[in-house]
Amino acid sequence: MIEATSVKKYFGDRPVVAGISFSVARGEVLGFLGPNGAGKSTTMRMITGFLPLSEGSISIGGCDIEENPVEAKRLFGYLPENAPAYQDMSVGGFLQFSAAIRGLSGRAGKAAVERAAGLCHLEGVMRQPIDTLSKGYRHRLCFAQAILHDPPVLILDEPTDGLDPNQKHEMRELIREMGRDKAIIVSTHILEEVEAICTRVIIIDRGTLVFNGTPRELLARAPHGDRVLVILRGIDGEEAVAALEKLPQIRRAEILGEEEGRLTLALQPTGKGEDFAWNIKKMLDERRWEFCELHTESGRLDEVFRDLTAPDGADRKEGVA
Ligand SMILES: Nc1ncnc2c1ncn2[C@@H]1O[C@H](COP(=O)(O)OP(=O)(O)OP(=O)(O)O)[C@@H](O)[C@H]1O
Ligand SMILES: [Mg+2]
């Protein structure tokens, strides 16, 4: 439903999007990640026809956004960054206006407004002027505008930004539900959101694509994804490390903490680490070492994100140098 091919964007002579390609099919929720200034919103603005491309092409449902903009724009709903809306309109007025420009009038328009307002919990503020809305409500209004015509494609730039935890949860459920039969792109800085709603993730860094895969594949890159943490009781740290590192399955044993007789160790497996935790438990039992906790650490997305987007640890300048 969305096909981006070698998309580039220059502002002046500065490449902000430096040739990225990806596609999104129906039934997919694509997470769009990247540090501030990476080019996410710029890419979304090009997908939605708000900014012209410098090079490359984008099509929505087979319609080229630059050659066939009206056809392409019928197929998607767009929640832009910072949720812009006409400040002097009322919530209900803005939704009716949005329905009208989507070609929904009369009974169909009324039904579309009611449905979208219901899904976004706006019933209580329908008469309120937009400039008096709180940030979260303004965001919900803009989301309602995006889904009004029930489009097959949704482009959502930070859809949960500014929402309270209950609303965040509900918005994620809604996106996941809609993702079953729509093609959705969601940009976000909240990494657990990616695990919660996305079927695939791309990460861009300084305008280039650095990752394209499933959240699971992303997690598999976590540096500590397969290590086992164990808390032992009544055992000296140095002694434990020396004994553990003698075992062929353990590549490295590291003391993370030692207090009140509790010794916390991180154990890194040699090779792939299948049955690693189980082997450790067997070994501890054989030595009669008492442990009060033993678990395999699941990888952390923020570690992978940092790894992929700042490999040299250097300070980042905005955009591409
Ligand atoms: N109209 C413009 N003219 C010049 N530079 C621009 C323009 N719009 C965006 N930029 C620059 O392009 C770069 C990418 O911005 P963009 O808004 O796409 O980043 P982003 O990935 O959405 O970041 P954030 O996570 O902060 O929302 C930034 O350095 C920004 O300053
Ligand atoms: Mg942005």
Residue 76 CA to ligand 1 center (angstroms) comes to 22
CATH code: domain of residue 83: 3.40.50.300
Closest ligand, as measured to the CA of 81: 2
Tens digit of each residue's pLDDT (9 = 90 or more) over 306-318 = 888 865 444 444 4
With the most atoms of ligand 1 within 8 angstroms of its CB, the residue from 42, 157, 190 to mutate is: 42
Collect residues with CB below 5 Å from ion ligand 2: 40-41, 81
Enter the tokens of residue 242: 């020396």
Same domain, 232 and 207: no
Cα distance between residue 313 and residue 39, in whole Å: 20
Binding site membership of 190 for ligand 1 (Cβ less than 6 Å): no
Question: Which residues contact residue 182 at a Cβ distance below 8 angstroms, ignoring those fewer than 6 apart?
Answer: 1, 26, 27, 151, 152, 153, 154
* Closest ligand to Cα 80: 2
Say how many domains are in the chain.
2
| DSSP 8-class letter at 159 | T
Give the span between the Cα atoms of 271 and 132, in whole angstroms.
Answer: 59
Q: Concatenate the DSSP letters of all residues of 97-120 into one string.
A: HHHHHTT--HHHHHHHHHHHHHHT
Same domain, 248 and 194: no
Please tell me whether residues 196 and 132 are part of one structural domain.
yes
User: Do 70 and 167 belong together in one domain?
Assistant: yes
pLDDT tens figures, 104-113: 989 999 999 9
Helix (H, G, I), strand (E, B) or coil at 146: helix
Return all residues near 26 (Cβ < 8 A) that are at least 6 apart. 1, 152, 181, 182, 183
* pLDDT of the residue at 302: 81
Q: Which residues pair with 22 in a beta bridge?
A: 4
pTM of the full predicted structure?
0.82
CATH number, domain containing residue 242: 3.30.70
**pLDDT tens readout for residues 53-84:** 999 999 999 999 999 999 999 999 999 998 88
Model pLDDT for residues 213-265, shown as the tens digit of each residue: 998 888 877 776 678 899 998 888 888 899 888 888 888 899 999 888 899 99
The DSSP secondary-structure symbol of 131 reads: G
| 150 and 18 part of one domain | yes
Which residue's CA is the nearest one to ligand 1's atom 19?
Answer: 37
